[in-house]
Amino acid sequence: MKKLFYITLFIFSCQYVGAQELKKEYQKFIQTFIDNVKGNKKQAVANAVRYPVTREYPIPSIMNKAEFVKRYDQIFDAELKNEIIKSSPAKNWNEVGWRGIMLNEGTLWIDTDGKITSINHQSKFEKDLKNKLIASEKKKLHPSIAKFDKPEVILETTKFKVRIDDLGNNNYRYASWSLKQSMSEKPDLVITNGKWVQDGTGGNHHYEFRKGKFLYQCDILVIGAKDSPPALLTIYQNDKEILSQNAKIVPR
């Protein structure tokens, strides 16, 4: 789950620098959450979630309480429940500055208002579902781009549709079409040997793809200004910006 949860590992490496002793008021709602998981109180847990809940692409995000309750057992398997139930609010949960409160190495995150913001655990059910969805997705793509290890993201600007896939071994592929085209059609442009770059510790990252004198950069803006777009496509020619367009991330 590298891209969805990559920040977890980085934050944990800084834990002993940025982590703070958990306040009693936080321990209280953490204990309530633990008790709800132990009692299998799905609705109570659903009430303590900040939506949407992102799952690893191409598994659909969870958009509301009803959907969370329906998919609860798909996420909260025996392994995750056991880790939560056996945890101690004072010993296994740490406040890490503005990032919130994390369980152990970042298995689960809760903000200081007591809302679950991220569940960084993937059950066997979700792993199998991810593989099935990827296999189905490959059948709908143009044969020239149907081979890849993992799908990354699909972006849409006012003019272009961009698909980024992980080909394995840190080799990323950029494929683009005009906005009205389908991904079952041959892409107008394909670039391989792209790279993924982390931007700070807040979750922002970008992909870089070079083709001759051109650089295509796709920024994913997890944290930004209030009016920031979720993504940005920028094209450079000889290091000079020649195009910049806001992009939306296509939901799956």
- For residues 120 and 197, state if they share a domain: no
- For residues 101 and 182, state if they share a domain: no
- For residues 55 and 161, state if they share a domain: no
pLDDT tens sequence across 94-105: 998 877 999 998
- For residues 235 and 162, state if they share a domain: yes
CA 30 from chain centre, in angstroms, equals 24
Task: State which of 97, 125, 153 marks the end of a domain.
Answer: 125
- Average pLDDT of 192-202? 87
- For residues 115 and 157, state if they share a domain: no
- Average pLDDT of 79-101? 93
Asked whether the predicted pLDDT for residue 215 surpasses 80, the reply is yes
- Average pLDDT of 204-215? 96
Residue 96: predicted pLDDT: 85
Residue 58: predicted pLDDT: 87
Q: Number of structural domains, the chain? A: 2
- For residues 169 and 210, state if they share a domain: yes
Distance CA 13, CA 47 (A): 31
Asked whether the predicted pLDDT for residue 5 surpasses 80, the reply is no
Q: What is the 3-state secondary structure (H, E, C) of the chain?
A: CHHHHHHHHHHHHCHHHHEECCCHHHHHHHHHHHHHHHCCCHHHHHHCECCCECCCCCCCCECCHHHHHHHHHHHCCHHHHHHHHCCCCCCCEEEEHHHCEEECCCCEEECCCCCEEEECCCCHHHHHHHHHHHHHHHHCCCHHHCCCCEEEEEEECCCEEEEEEECCCCCEEEEEEECCCCCCCCCCEEEEEEEEEECCCCCCEEEEEEECCEEEEEEECCCCCCCCCCEEEEEEECCEEEEEEEEEECCC
Asked whether the predicted pLDDT for residue 251 surpasses 90, the reply is no
Domain coverage including residue 30:
2-125
Asked whether the predicted pLDDT for residue 233 surpasses 80, the reply is yes
Mean pLDDT of the chain: 90
Does residue 137 lie in a domain region? no
Asked whether the predicted pLDDT for residue 188 surpasses 50, the reply is yes
Distance CA 109, CA 94 (A): 10
- For residues 146 and 119, state if they share a domain: no
- Average pLDDT of 150-162? 95
